[in-house]
Amino acid sequence: ASSSRCEATKASFYNRKTVEIVDLDWDNLGFGVVPTDFMYVMKCSQKEIFTKGELVRYGPIELTPSSGVLNYGQGLFEGLKAYRKEDGSILLFRPYENALRMKMGAERMCMPAPTIEQFVDAIKFVVLANKRWIPPTGKGSLYIRPLLIGSGAILGLSPAPEYTFLVFVSPVGNYFKEGLAPISLVVENEHHRAAPGGTGGVKTIGNYASVLKAQKRAKENGYSDVLYLDSVHKKYLEEVSSCNIFIVKNKVISTPELKGTILPGITRKSIIDVARGLGYQVEERPLLVEELLDADEVFCTGTAVVVSPVGSITYLGRRVEYGDKGVGVVSQQLYSALTRLQMGLSEDKMGWTMLV
């Protein structure tokens, strides 16, 4: 391990000083895994705290078949992005928020979590070590995927005896195959994503496995993704499989309130503040599914999807269209305001961006 750490340290220094950028087809990046140079790994036992991690070569990890994550789904993940600026500097967007969310999720999943500083330092290390994989300005970003998993062996149901915090990265472009064009959603009537008292409000890996079936069916039927309703009344909007949802009506922007069943998105929270800063009234409240029928615009937010305009939603066989096949004015304005901030093109009055 110490020789790989040494190698990693040398390589990150090398990447920083000399290697500019890898030779990739930057114009055709989607949202897929591109293997990079290094990942960050830190381990601790159930009774300990995380102390020291290291950069190692990106690649398969060794995991016992009896690990808590493989058998009982004891795992969390995060997602954030690094952007390359024209002047070569690198910007992270609100990494402390991801660190905090992982800490809260870890409490819910009975796992020890890295401290906020450990989390942010790990992100910086891994981004610098993989600097040559950050897309050129305007071509995409480096998606950063922190994982916290129960890696220790367990057979009876209880928290695992050992935990691994791991961060890997991949250069990405647009999440949906539609690119920046409006996506089509279908309201899901059979399956639910979350229930009160469950784990819908934390970024546990199981939340994402349970949406695959409905998402698969939706894609087979030509939709981009699924919009979930609450599991109690089956009439309030919750979220899309991979992102939060907003509607715009008469210039008022609304999004479902956070009540434990909805993922507290960092882009969701940022868009609320950006919109208020631009003078919009923003409401966090229960949103009835019927409100989709006469909305002026609908859009989704997430780290991966950024701000994705919704072109149509189908509910009980009835299809409603928005934006006349184009991007709505409010969605476009919010997309531009957020991405300009993330890429360092506008003044960061909120102190959200961090130079690596």
Among 63, 304, 354, 356, binds ligand COI (CB under 6 A): 304
Minimal distance, residue 76 CB to ligand COI, in Å:
11
303 interacts with ligand COI by CB under 6 A: yes
Q: Which of 98, 215, 242, 255 binds ligand COI (CB under 6 A)?
A: 242
Q: Smaller CB distance to ligand COI: residue 152 or 171?
A: 171
Q: Which is nearer to ligand COI, 79 or 200 (CB)?
A: 79
Minimum separation from the CB atom of position 103 to ligand COI (A): 17
Name the residue among 269, 285, 289 with its Cα closest to residue 277: 269
- Which range in 87-95, 194-202, 297-305, 337-345 contacts ligand COI by CB under 6 A? 297-305
Which ranges in the chain belong to alpha helices (H)? 2-17, 68-72, 95-108, 116-129, 205-209, 212-220, 266-277, 329-342
Residue whose C-alpha is closest to residue 262's, from 138, 101, 61: 101
Pick the catalytic residue from 203, 219, 259, 269.
203
Query: Which lies closer to ligand COI via its Cβ, residue 79 or residue 328?
Result: 79
Spell out, one character per residue from 78 to 97, where the chain touches ligand COI: x when CB under 6 A holds, - when not. Answer: -x------------------
Contacts of 268 (CB under 8 A, 6+ apart): 244, 246, 255, 301, 302
Residue 56 or 214: the one with the smaller Cβ distance to ligand COI is 214
Site for ligand COI in 162-221 (CB under 6 A): 208
How far is it, in rounded angstroms, from Cα 34 to Cα 171?
Answer: 7
Regarding beta strands 53-57 and 80-84, do their DSSP bridges make them parallel or antiparallel, or are they unpaired?
Answer: unpaired
Give the CA distances from residue 178 to residues 15, 90, 173, 328, in Å, rounded to whole numbers and listed in that order.
33, 27, 12, 16
Asked about 203 being catalytic, the answer comes back as yes
Residue 313 has which token pair?
Answer: 């939603």
Chain positions contacting ligand COI, by CB under 6 A: 79, 208, 242, 302-304
Residues carrying an active site annotation: 203
